Amino acid sequence: MQRTVFKSRWLPYALVVPQVAVTVVFFFWPALKSLQLSLYRVSPFGDKSTFVGLENFRKLVTDPDYYASVLSSFVFAGGVTVLAVLGALVLAGLATQKIRGLAVYRTLLLWPYGIAPAVAGIIFLFIFHPAYGILPYFLSFVTAYDFNWLLKGWVAMTLVIVATAWTHLGYNIAFYIAGLLAIPTSVMEAADVDGAGPIRRFVAIVFPLVSPITFYLVVLNMVFAFFESFGVIDAVTKGGPGQATEIMVYKLYKDGFIGLNLGSSGAQSVILMAMVIGLTVLQFRFAEKKVTYR
């Protein structure tokens, strides 16, 4: 697996220096500082810091606000993942049938990936707008319920989930299309010959065959929803109403930059770090599985 053709004492180091410098200065050093910060109490102006051990963590664990943010993170990530992965599987299933015009359909399905979650959030914010939005307008014919996301937490949560899932769709569809096209046609033909209808075929054959991709996409969508979704929350709800959409990343930002509570934000960083390490390990266990699967 290794090729060692070229010999030079200094050149390999010169080649890796840019990458390694960026990782050390902007990844490892700050990550270690976060770890350190989590064990200290720092005054808001950063001039005094006292070692407090695990005090910051203890405070978080006993803080109902923190629990609320953990819960809304999981609701948010779970909602986004279910919506975006299931929707993508159905759409990719349709877009790999033997019909004309597939190229056009596929293009029309992929592009939402290009939209920044924050921009998607702003578009959906208008669609959900209590006074001018098209959705509350049409819903008002069906029910008298007030779908005002400024007042109702679950409506705000639905808003950010739908907007984020919309931007994830293209990504998931690209993976599912690649996976579905890799299923040998003989398998599907055999099922057809045995008299399995399209829905039966999908449930009994396609779904198990793409399950490694599904697992991978579930992990990846969770990671994205947890760690890359600051934008949609900040642009649309700012964590509100109340704290209904205050996901962990947003709380970290708020406590750190606005509350200037450096110790607590350090501890929150460390908890998030543990989560992302767990999810990455899961993701790479999939990578191994995929190798043996083939």
Partner 1 sequence: MSAVGTTQLERARVRARATDTPRRKRFPWGSVVVHALLIACIAVVVFPLYFAFVVSTQDLQQVVQRPPRLLPSSHLLENYAQAWRKSSMGRMLFNSAVMAVAVAVGKIAISMLSAFAIVYFNFRGRTFCFWMIFVTLMLPVPVRLMSTYEVIGTLGWLDTYEGLTIPLMASATATFLFRQFYMTIPNEMAEAAQLDGAGPLRFLWSFLLPLSWANIAALFVVLFIFGWNQYLWPLMITNTEEMRTVVIGLEQLIPRSGTELPTWNLIMAGAMMALLPPVAIIIFMQRWFVKGLVESEK
Buried/exposed 202-239: b ≥16 CB within 10 Å, e otherwise: eeebbeebbebbbbbbbbbbbbbbbbebebbbbbbbeb
Site string for partner 1, 143-162 (x = CB under 8 A): --------------------
- Taking contact as CB under 8 A, which single stretch among the options 55-63, 70-78, 199-207, 228-236 is the one that binds partner 1? 228-236
Contacts 24+ apart (CB under 8 A), 154-159: 154/244, 155/128, 156/236, 156/237, 156/240, 156/241, 156/244, 156/245, 157/72, 157/75, 157/76, 157/79, 157/244, 157/245, 158/79, 159/121, 159/124, 159/125, 159/128, 159/236, 159/237
Pair of tokens at residue 75: 């609701």
Strand partners, 42: 49
**Is residue 6 close enough to count as binding partner 1 by CB under 8 A?**
yes
Q: Does 107 bind partner 1 (CB under 8 A)?
A: yes
188 binds partner 1 (CB under 8 A): no
Count of residues binding partner 1 (CB under 8 A)?
100
Rounded to a whole number of angstroms, the minimum distance from the CB of residue 88 to partner 1 is: 10
Tell me the one-letter amino acid at 111. Answer: W
- Beta carbon nearer to partner 1, 11 or 54: 11
- Cα separation, 229 vs 224, in Å, equals 7
117 contributes a contact to partner 1 by CB under 8 A: yes
Q: Is 198 in the site for partner 1 (CB under 8 A)?
A: yes
49 beta partners? 42
273 touching partner 1, by CB under 8 A: yes
Residue 23 Cβ, how far from partner 1 at the closest point, in Å?
5
**Amino acid present at 1:** M
287: contact with partner 1 by CB under 8 A: yes
Instruction: Using the rule CB under 8 A, give the single segment among 50-58, 66-74, 152-160, 270-278 that binds partner 1.
Output: 270-278
Stretch that binds partner 1, among 47-55, 78-86, 128-136, 202-210 (CB under 8 A): 128-136
Within residues 20-49, the interface with partner 1 by CB under 8 A covers 20, 22-31, 33-34, 37
110 binds partner 1 (CB under 8 A): yes
Which is nearest to 128 in space by CA: 153, 152, 156?
A: 156
Among 80, 84, 160, 220, indicate the residue that binds partner 1 (CB under 8 A).
220
Task: For residue 13, state whether it binds partner 1 (rule: CB under 8 A).
Answer: yes
Q: Do the beta carbons of residue 137 and residue 197 sit within 8 Å?
A: no
Q: Between 169 and 244, whose beta carbon lies closer to partner 1?
A: 169
| Positive or negative: CA dihedral 8, 10, 11, 16 | positive
Smallest distance from partner 1 to CB 282, Å: 12
Q: Which DSSP symbol is given to 182?
A: T
Among 132, 137, 135, which Cα is nearest to 155's? 135
Q: Does 114 engage in binding with partner 1 (CB under 8 A)?
A: yes
From residue 76 to residue 105, the character string flagging contacts with partner 1 as x (rule: CB under 8 A) and all else as - is --------------xx--xx-xxxxx---x
Any contact of residue 195 with partner 1 (CB under 8 A)? Answer: yes
Distance between alpha carbon 122 and the CA centroid of its chain, in Å?
A: 18
Minimum gap (Å) between residue 154 Cβ and partner 1: 20
Tell me which residue of 255, 274, 224, 249 sits closest to 56, measured CA to CA: 255
